[in-house]
Amino acid sequence: MPKYTDLVASLPATVPFVGPETQERARGRAFAARLGANENVFGPSPLAIEAMAKAAGDTWMYGDPENHDLKQALAAHHGIGADHIVVGEGIDGLLGYLVRMIVEPGVKVVTSLGAYPTFNFHVAGYGGDLITVPYNGDHEDPIALIAKAAETGARLVYLANPDNPMGTVHSAQTLQQMIDAVPDGCLLVLDEAYLEFAPEGCAPPINPVDPKVIRMRTFSKAYGMAGARVGYAIGAMNLITAFNKIRNHFGMCRMSQAGALAALADQEYLQQTVAQVTAGRGRIAQIAAAQGLSVVPSATNFVAIDCGQGDAFATSVLQNLITKDIFVRMPFVAPQNRCIRVSVGRKADLDLLEAAFPGAFQAAKQAN
C-alpha cells in the first residue's frame, strides 16, 4: 500500500453528492424528472450547443491554457480587466484551488451550517478547521459569519448569495456591508453561482481591486452548462495570479471554452431562461400550496418546499417522490431539512411533479 500523507490517510473516501445516475443504477430504473441537482433543464443557448458541436471536431487540440478569449469576453461583460478573472473547471474546481492556496492544517474557515458541502469537502481535504454558524431563519447570516471569522481568526469565510439549499438572497447593500466588515487576514468567498436568477439589486458592484472578496460565477446554472465545467472567479490581481501557481493549466475542455463564449454572447437567451425559471418557481409554489404547504421564497432555479415537520417527514416525502421517479434532494441539517429542494423543470417535468406530489405528501402523512 502506498504511503499516503497523514492528512489524506485520515480522510474518508467520500462524495459531496450522490449523482442521479448512481441512484438510477441502484434503483434499476431511470428517473422521469431530473429535478434534484439544481441543473438548468432549459439548457444552454442553441448558439452554445452549436459552438460546442462544432468544437467537437477540434478536440484534437488542447484548450487554450490562458482561456484568453473567454476571459476577454467576461472582462468586457463585467466592465473589468481580464487580469482580475481566472477561469476554471467549474466553481467546484476553483474552490479547490482557492482552498489549497490558503488552507492547511490548523487554519480556520467559517461557513454556515448546512451550506454548500463541496466547499466543506475541500476544506477538510486540505486539513482546515471548519467552523459553522447557524442560518438566521432561512438565510445565511452575514453578521454572524463575520463575527465568527473575526473571533476565530479565520482565513476564509464562505457565503453563497443566493443561498443553496434554501434559495434565499440578501440585498447588495447587506453584502457590501459584509465585504466591508471582512476582518484583516481573511477573505470572503462569495459564491454567486445562482446570481443570474436573482432579482436586480442582489449583487454589490464588482470592485476588482478589493482584496477582501473573491466572487465565484459559473456557466453551470443560468447558462445551462453544468456538464461543461466552466466557472470563473473575480478578484484582486495578486489573488488571481496566484491561481497560476497551482492550477491545472491545460485543464479546460476546449468544447466547453467555445460553448461558454457563445453562451455569454447570447444574453437574450439567458433572459428567456430566467423568465422561464421564474415562472417555474411559481408553479412549484402552487403545487406545494395545493397540499397546504408553503415554500421558501427563492432567488434561484430551485425551490425549498417546507414540508411542515422535521427531517424524518421531509425524508419520507422525498423518498416517496423518488419512488415515483422524481429525482429531488433535500438539505442536510436542521432546521433546513424540514424542506425538500426541487429544481425548476420544463412544463413536462413539473406536470410529473404535480401528478406525483400529492400522493407522496399524503403517503408521508399517513406513515408519520
The footprint of its own copies on residues 104-163 (CB under 8 A) is: 104, 107, 118, 125, 155
Candidate residues 75, 150, 152, 251; the one interacting with its own copies per rule CB under 8 A: 251
CB of 300 to its own copies, least distance (A): 15
CB of 242 to its own copies, least distance (A): 7
Residue pair 108/152 in contact by the 8 Å Cβ criterion: yes
Interactions with its own copies, residue window 254-273 (CB under 8 A) = 254-256, 259
- Residue of 321, 332, 335 whose CA lies nearest to 291: 321
Buried b (16+ CB within 10 A) or exposed e, 140-164: bbbeebbebbbebebbbbbbbbbbb
- Nearer to its own copies by Cβ, of 344 and 364: the residue is 344
Helix, strand, coil shares of the chain as percentages rounded to 5?
45, 15, 40
CB of 140 to its own copies, least distance (A): 21
- Nearer to its own copies by Cβ, of 70 and 133: the residue is 70
Residues contacting its own copies: total by CB under 8 A: 85
Interactions with its own copies, residue window 204-223 (CB under 8 A) = 211, 220
CB of 292 to its own copies, least distance (A): 32
- Nearer to its own copies by Cβ, of 10 and 362: the residue is 10
CB of 364 to its own copies, least distance (A): 28
Q: Where are the alpha helices (DSSP H) in the chain?
A: 6-10, 20-27, 46-56, 68-78, 90-102, 117-125, 142-152, 172-180, 237-242, 254-265, 267-289, 311-323, 347-367
The verdict on 275 binding its own copies (CB under 8 A) reads no
- Nearer to its own copies by Cβ, of 122 and 338: the residue is 122
In sequence order, the 6+-apart residues with CB closer than 8 A to the CB of 37 are 17, 19, 20, 226, 327, 329, 343
- Residue of 284, 281, 182, 163 whose CA lies nearest to 235: 182
Interactions with its own copies, residue window 277-296 (CB under 8 A) = none
Kindly state the cell numbers that stand for 89. Answer: 473547471
Which one of the spans 4-12, 144-152, 332-340, 357-365 is the region binding its own copies (CB under 8 A)?
4-12
- Nearer to its own copies by Cβ, of 41 and 339: the residue is 41
CA distances from 99 to 13, 87, 104, 129, 252 (A): 19, 16, 8, 12, 19
- Nearer to its own copies by Cβ, of 229 and 341: the residue is 229
Distance CA 54, CA 256 (A): 11
CB of 2 to its own copies, least distance (A): 4
Interactions with its own copies, residue window 161-200 (CB under 8 A) = 185, 187
Report the relative pairing of strands 231-234 and 294-295 from DSSP bridges. Answer: unpaired
In sequence order, the 6+-apart residues with CB closer than 8 A to the CB of 356 are 321, 324, 325, 326
Which one of the spans 166-174, 250-258, 329-337, 358-366 is the region binding its own copies (CB under 8 A)?
250-258
108: β partners: 129
- Nearer to its own copies by Cβ, of 8 and 334: the residue is 8
Candidate residues 31, 42, 194, 232; the one interacting with its own copies per rule CB under 8 A: 42
233: β partners: 86, 216
Distance CA 77, CA 3 (A): 47
Which one of the spans 49-57, 130-138, 333-341, 359-367 is the region binding its own copies (CB under 8 A)?
49-57
Interactions with its own copies, residue window 61-90 (CB under 8 A) = 61-66, 68, 89-90
- Nearer to its own copies by Cβ, of 23 and 315: the residue is 23
Candidate residues 239, 261, 356, 364; the one interacting with its own copies per rule CB under 8 A: 239
Residue whose cell numbers read 433535500: 330
Interactions with its own copies, residue window 301-340 (CB under 8 A) = none
